[in-house]
Structure 1
Amino acid sequence: MVGKHSKVKKSKPLLGNHQKCWIWGRNAVMETLSAGFWQIWELHLSERLSADEKQTAEDRAKQLSIPVVIATDQDLTQKCRASDHQGMIAKMAPFPYSTASDVIQRNIAAPLFLILDRIQDPYNFGAIVRSAEILGSDGIFVGADEQCEVTSLVCRTSVGAVNRISIAQHSDLVQLCRDLKRADISIVGTAMQAPEILPSHNFKEPTAIIVGNEGSGISQTLLNECTHLVRIPQQGKTESLNVAISAGILLYEASRQRNFA
């Protein structure tokens, strides 16, 4: 354990500047520690945490060779620039994205993937990741441009689920769709005027679901790559659903068919 005033080298690459290089909150930090997937450079714990909380976090950090600093709540607030840290903050390395080929080539009989087309709100991104992990998605693909990165806010919103599901970054989502189709994976998008309603589509087959940008939806170039378009039945007068809600509905229907139908 490192003392309160110990210095840690700062030459390692970080997730980002200021808040972006820190995650905080008990759930997000402990889930990241537990998973052991996303590298933590430093773990800072509040001196006010219970002995059991500190011991659990310190034991896991020791297993992963992570330096631990015990500090005041004020020290933690100053470092992560947020007061809702609940006594735990962690300085993070850059997020370890998977490669698309690694995800596609896994030996999964009927994969269920999710493709995110330019999701820019970190709250939406984190909520989508959380739903995808809970509902059994086998991987998430994101573009390299106009797409929110996996940040501390995404991690917190996902309650650490970014550590539990493969997230692959790809420079060309159109080419990705073509590669998936060559692997006999259907590409399913949504459109308000689509003739097929969501419950009628067969999600038991190998499938990649696309959800689109908060403002403009799925780009036309990706719509052109879809093998199926479905619509979510709506009864109200509001024009459209939030993208994170839409993703959750689509993934729930796929999970329902695969596990309970």
Structure 2
Amino acid sequence: MEKVFGLHAVESLLRRDGGKVVEIYVQQGRRDKRLGALIDLAKSHSVAVVECPRAKLDDLVSGRHQGVVALAEAAPSFDEKALPGLLAERPDALVLVLDGVTDPHNLGACLRSADAAGVAAVIAPKDNAVGLTATVRKVACGAAESVPFVAVTNLSRTLKALQDAGLWVVGMAGEAEQMLYDIDLKGPVALVMGAEGSGLRRLTREHCDFLAKLPMAGSVSSLNVSVATGVCLFEAVRQRR
């Protein structure tokens, strides 16, 4: 079982897969329109709704719960063995690879962009990276349940497996000479984004078919990884239209 909190995250979970929600805890005495609609939605899925003091909600989760916490069956997790099956379903698969993203808010935002862009899978290393925490799920607003998240033990080996499966691997690096807009992203592609601050690791770079960058016209040298991820994914979406 896992805890999902926040109005949007719980609502998305109920609408997407209400059968997995076992119970919802709501803040005692709170009766605003949005929470009322969420309670009605939960009852329509025959989900038990329990009122409790705010202090109990604070104890249940660490984060801004907005007066609601859901107890639900854990979303399925994937490992590298699942990748061939996920890719077989999408001959023109767009895959997002995150090389060591450690901030749960960044991962949640990346998952949300991945869902919107129709990504087949999001891949990240098991070590030195954030996993699917409750905060990640809240920020992802339901995308953590809809986009397969694949945690792998060896990212370099996984990139090689993606290449063997016919995907071009494009790593984003600020010092690259080529612009992302000049690369063909219409076929099966894996976009690789670096970690906050340090960017792509050396071994990850060496396993990329191409390195590319985004044009930076201002005084800052780089974008936040979740912002850059959204820009890159939707360049692929634009080319595929």
Q: Which moved more, 1:160-169 or 1:71-80?
A: 71-80
Structure 1 equivalent of residue 194 of structure 2: 212
Q: Per-residue deviation at 1:182? A: 0.6
Distance between the aligned counterparts of 1:38 and 1:149, measured in 2? 24
In structure 2, the CA distance between the partners of 1:39 and 1:125, relative to structure 1 (3 Å rule), is same
The residue type equivalent to 1:55 in the other structure is D
The residue type equivalent to 1:87 in the other structure is G
Structure 2 equivalent of residue 96 of structure 1: 76
Q: Per-residue deviation at 1:144? A: 0.7
Q: Per-residue deviation at 1:42? A: 3.2
The residue type equivalent to 2:164 in the other structure is R
Q: Could you say what the CA RMSD is over the residues aligned between the two structures, in angstroms?
A: 2.3
In structure 2, the CA distance between the partners of 1:179 and 1:154, relative to structure 1 (3 Å rule), is same
Aligned with residue 240 of structure 1, among 222, 227, 238: 222
Distance between the aligned counterparts of 1:102 and 1:81, measured in 2? 30
Distance between the aligned counterparts of 1:54 and 1:30, measured in 2? 9
Structure 2 equivalent of residue 58 of structure 1: 43
Superposition TM-score, scaled by structure 2 size:
0.88
Alpha-carbon displacement from aligned partner over 1:15-65 (angstroms, at most 9, x marks no partner): 4xxxxxx321221012122222895453223454465532321222x2xxx
1:71 aligns with 2:51: yes
Q: Percent identity?
A: 26
8 Å Cα contact 1:45-1:89 kept in structure 2? yes
Structure 1 equivalent of residue 102 of structure 2: 120
The residue type equivalent to 1:45 in the other structure is V
Alpha-carbon displacement from aligned partner over 1:139-164 (angstroms, at most 9, x marks no partner): 10111101101111111111121111
Structure 2 equivalent of residue 129 of structure 1: 111
Q: Per-residue deviation at 1:223? A: 0.4
The gaps in structure 1 that reach 5 residues or longer are: 1-13, 16-21
Distance between the aligned counterparts of 1:187 and 1:166, measured in 2? 19
The residue type equivalent to 2:38 in the other structure is E
The gaps in structure 2 that reach 5 residues or longer are: none
8 Å Cα contact 2:54-2:67 kept in structure 1? no
Matches within 5 A, 1:74-223: 74=54, 76-81=56-61, 84-105=64-85, 106-223=88-205
1:36 aligns with 2:21: no
